Amino acid sequence: MKNYFQTFGKDFPASIVVVLVALPLCLGIALGSGAPLFSGIIAGIVGGIVIGLLSGSHLSVSGPAAGLTVIVATAIAKLQVYEAFLLAVVIAGILQMVLGFLKAGILGDYVPNAVIKGMLAAIGLLLILKQIPHLVGYNANFIGDESFKEANTENTFTAFTNFAAKINEGALLIGIVALFILIVWDGWIVKKIKKVKLIPGALLAVIAGTMMNQYFKFAIPFIALQPNHLVSLPVVNENNSFLSFFTFPNWSFITNKEVWITAVTIAIVASLETLLSIEAIDNLDPLKRATPTNRELRAQGVGNFISGLIGGIPVTSVIVRSSANVYAGAKTKASAVMHGVILLLFVLFIPEIINHIPLSALAAILIFTGYKLAKVSLFKEFYSKGWDQLIPFVITIVAILLTDLLIGIFIGCAVALFFLIRSNFRSAVLVVNDTNNYLIRLRKDVSFLNKPVIKEKLEEIPENSFVLIDVTRADFIDKDVIEEINHYMQHAHLKNVKVEIKKSRHKSMHRLFSQQNEFQYELN
């Protein structure tokens, strides 16, 4: 607790930034999912407070995830009753808790670093591409959409080009000013004047954008923003009490097969997205602290259980919110918890004020966050690391941009696995020759994939040569490879080739060669 008080000066400003990032995403993802708008706010509050308290992550922030939008929209359409969908979310939460107790969190550790960094860069590029239309007032698709194909038959690139004919002058001016404030404040003023670090640039950008629109209403009404260009939080009033925004699951659907299919799907996808996000945020953490992944799955399970119980859509650890948290200077998970509390207070006490915030100002914050995730220096870093790192990194980015997060990650992992096998394949067999003396050294793990190369190298050895096959540095040699070497030794004398095997000290490997040989050869 003492640590939280010590870092309050950094965690609280960061929580403000996260709220400004999370607010449009909570509303946008609920809208894109076909769920009630307030369900996104519930999910954001639960993700902040409940998961924030239970999680072992220092910087991760949870909330409704764009990656689940299609799954949620499809499930709601199939079940037709929102209360039945909420039951599926509750069950998904229980399943996630079970996965946590079964220690399934280890899966995230198998994602290569090049793929994780590629995912971060792809999210950054997506934020820039997806938010530029919102920056200029073209809100055809919901804020927070990350998929290539969009709901209105457009895709990431067509939406990016189509907004040119539908620019809203007021939104454009507000967006440019907000982006300018973010760049100057974070890139110059904060570095020059240390005392202003407590004031988030994102908050200044939102205040400036809101004041500009209020000025437009009186001085230049024809460019003033309409309600569809502003935040639209549900407002509590006499006819609409706060409790009326909450919905509860209908347990009579417990035997419905579609409910269980939806629950399993949400549990698996939400868990995968969380593990990937946790890996990425731990990577961004300046202190490189490691999150206990099994505890995280249990925390996410509790979060989804509670979110479903009170009417919220599913939650996961989210890269956009979390990266904004990191770049805003957060030090502990108090930032995530405070962001949930602030979101709750906004809804309870000042929704009318929040509803004056222009979406273009919030889009500017998301674009600025995207730039930080996809800096040019990151591409230079992977270029310097070589093709085996650069290609999985780039393919992961392209795959995510053209599909979605999970599919892109799977493609990136497949490419990285190819380069891993290729690297092991090349390094497992070393051939050195000096005139008619040959050394064939087998190293590390020699699998059946190395058999064609070994066969080719052996058959290329000319007549009247000497061959030393060194297996002392091999940890494992596949039986197919051993058999291939034995076959060669059976006919090597026909070319007057003398073969010597330098055997491994491992008794098991020595026995394998001995069992396969039915002829005489020299032992070193």
**Other beta carbons less than 10 A from residue 399's beta carbon:** 24
pLDDT given for residue 244 in this prediction: 82
Per-block average pLDDT, block size 10, for the chain (524 residues)?
A: 76 95 93 92 96 95 91 92 96 97 89 91 92 89 79 75 81 96 89 81 95 94 92 77 86 95 95 94 90 96 97 95 93 95 92 94 94 91 89 94 90 89 73 86 80 85 90 83 86 88 60 44 36
pLDDT given for residue 425 in this prediction: 66
DSSP class of residue 58?
Answer: S
Please give the Cα distance from 121 to 143 (Å, whole number): 19
Please give the Cα distance from 336 to 59 (Å, whole number): 7
Distances (CA, A) of 488 to 79, 493, 499: 65, 9, 9
Helix (H) or strand (E) holding 296: helix 293-310
**Helix 113-135 and helix 359-373, axial crossing angle in degrees, nearest 10:** 150
Please give the Cα distance from 236 to 243 (Å, whole number): 9
pLDDT given for residue 522 in this prediction: 37
Residues 156/130, Cβ–Cβ less than 8 Å = yes
Short-list 314, 200, 224, 219, CA closest to 263: 314
Beta bridge partners of 446: 477
pLDDT given for residue 240 in this prediction: 65
Short-list 29, 129, 428, 65, CA closest to 274: 65
Q: Phi and psi of 312, rounded to 5°?
A: -95, 155
Name the token pair of 134.
């919102």
Q: What count of Cα atoms within 13 Å lies in the side-chain half-sphere of residue 165?
A: 4
Helix (H) or strand (E) holding 467: strand 466-477
Q: What is the pTM assigned to this prediction? A: 0.83
Please give the Cα distance from 239 to 81 (Å, whole number): 24
pLDDT given for residue 142 in this prediction: 79
Name the token pair of 518.
């039915």
Q: Phi and psi of 501, rounded to 5°?
A: -110, 125
**Helix 8-33 and helix 201-219, axial crossing angle in degrees, nearest 10:** 60
Listed in sequence order, the DSSP H helices in 102-168 are: 113-135, 156-162
Spell out the domains of the chain, with CATH numbers in brackets.
Answer: 13-145+164-374 (no CATH), 383-425 (no CATH), 428-523 (3.30.750.24)
Residues 33/47, Cβ–Cβ less than 8 Å = no
Residues 162/141, Cβ–Cβ less than 8 Å = no
Short-list 146, 85, 82, 142, CA closest to 304: 85
